[in-house]
Structure 1
């Protein structure tokens, strides 16, 4: 059945800059900027060749349970767990936690050294030894009309703090639903030419808009537009 079809989505992080700027304040953005940011990130995919019906809302509708596989020479779990907790605190309507086994997780994060990257992506993400592995880090999302079923991110640990933090933030957040990048989003990590390596205030508002209960999985851009200004107003109030 078409309603039960799943689509697989691959996101890659190409070129990056090396400076993390000071965060903008809650009132630094107009409502129009937030509405445009929501539409640019939520509707569409950074890489469309693996998509199915990309221009629909995609989000988790159940608690997101993460499992962290730290395969790198440096143990990054404390940093990843802290970010997972922060997401749960900063995004209303989204519950995050840590699963004790991969089988109980619906979002797995692999932290790897560069030398491990290709093998992990082929084995644990694509499940194919012959798969091509582009990008510096990535996330894959399995979703359908009723919401995201599962996400898997691969984060590189040993090529500097900026790349690690940038990959962790962008790939994890994209695995929650805002799946497109846009070069015009200067306040956002969803812009591969931006200098951000943190969960910016702008992106916190976008995630709060997406996880507002009035925004449903499978909604089209046209369906969200009548309610989006109110959703943006309420999301801005939640983010301080």
Structure 2
């Protein structure tokens, strides 16, 4: 189940408050229409640099357990060709995003999977309203269920063992439920996460720095690491119904064959992530917590991370979470937390996207404090990282920040070009026109020139 954590790129507005009924400025848009939506075309997955020893351990933890921490008795997957269909009021971008994903799964993971219109499909993707999803799973943006195809079937079976992942012994039929009233990017993110879970691992691990199989939601499309895990998952040496020992005995041989580069790399053997840290992070960032509860939870998470002696991305993510929570009440303390987060993220070559998120926050501070050159420097590398990882919401945010920094440095024409480029990506990342314009107003409000002119 995809957790409904707050996206990392949506908290820039705390630097300068604005009201929802403010009108746009000259920096926001020049006419009443927005340019056409932009979409990603050629995937650029990063090849994993992890050792096979680490990947084997990750594979076992991902494949033989649930997110709750419960161990699974048997390994389950589909056997034979897999078919996928779409039903419901599907957003216009979903069919093409699904086709791109299926193409990647065939070519990168070697999975025999294809689209169909038949009602006998192995996997049925149901486009339903967010309200319908949250009626049954309030914290989920989307979810996947075994042994059903439609929402009506799920409603009837939802309290039975028929849809209990811990009780299944094979996979033949599954239902995925994704929102049809979310942004195109959120719908696509749900496709990637839920289809990957429908096909393969049911667990998520916070210790993975470069994976969708991680509840931190940093990565939103399947990475090179994820495709390697799925390729191993459907290797002929494994089969449905194997127990843990049988899988564990075969996975080193599989990885040696499909990922020979990982054989000679030293293992990092990151420590396991304790449940109290996971629960504290979820309380801090998930829905339903009061501001005081969020602060208490993130302080608890940071205490645990410090006591564990972490110096990896989990420590960085904890500082980032702290920065987000402090941002509206203590901006200077928040900036300090973002800088600490960046220092920990900088220790690994696999956390470039994490640093791009930090860059968006630090660039917002630089812009609001009349340091355009610093904002331009921070956004320069981050923009390509956001594009490489197909995160249109982050990409458009960074471009908007860069446009304001160019304006502030006197390069108004260049700023207008960058701002125009940001809008097509924003339509994919944020969806509706009002959401795009709200993001423009939010970032425009950071620019001291706009505040000085009294236009906001």
Same fold (TM over 0.5): yes
Which residue of structure 2 lines up, in the alignment, with residue 101 of structure 1? 118
Which residue of structure 1 lines up, in the alignment, with residue 4 of structure 2? 14
How many residue pairs are counted as aligned between the two chains? 207
State the shift of 1:47 in Å: 4.5
State the shift of 1:118 in Å: 4.9
> Is 2:90 the partner of 1:68?
no
1:1-240 aligned at under 5 Å gives the runs 11-15=1-5, 17-18=7-8, 23-26=45-48, 28-47=49-68, 54-92=72-110, 94-102=111-119, 104-118=120-134, 132-134=136-138, 135-142=140-147, 144-145=168-169, 147-236=170-259
State the shift of 1:71 in Å: 1.4
Would you tell me which structure has more helix in proportion to its own residues? Answer: 2
State the shift of 1:80 in Å: 1.2
Gaps of 5+ in 1: 1-10, 120-131
Contact 2:97–2:188 at 8 Å: present in 1 too?
Answer: no
3-state DSSP class of the match of 1:175?
helix
Q: Provide the rounded CA distance (Å) in 1 between the counterparts of 2:95 and 2:45.
A: 25
State the shift of 1:175 in Å: 0.3
State the shift of 1:201 in Å: 0.8
Q: Provide the rounded CA distance (Å) in 2 between the counterparts of 1:69 and 1:215.
A: 32
State the shift of 1:54 in Å: 2.4
Q: Provide the rounded CA distance (Å) in 1 between the counterparts of 2:64 and 2:83.
A: 24
Q: Provide the rounded CA distance (Å) in 2 between the counterparts of 1:71 and 1:170.
A: 20
Contact 1:13–1:138 at 8 Å: present in 2 too?
Answer: no
The Cα offsets for residues 44-102 of structure 1, whole Å up to 9 and x where unpaired, read as 11247xx9x8232111002111111141454521211221222122222x211122222
73 and 66 in structure 1: CA distance in 2 versus 1, 3 angstrom threshold: closer
Gaps of 5+ in 2: 10-43, 148-164, 262-456
Asked which structure has the greater CA Rg, the reply is 2
Which residue of structure 2 lines up, in the alignment, with residue 129 of structure 1? none
3-state DSSP class of the match of 1:227?
helix
**TM-score, normalisation: structure 1:** 0.76
State the shift of 1:139 in Å: 0.5
**TM-score, normalisation: structure 2:** 0.42
Q: Provide the rounded CA distance (Å) in 2 between the counterparts of 1:116 and 1:72.
A: 15
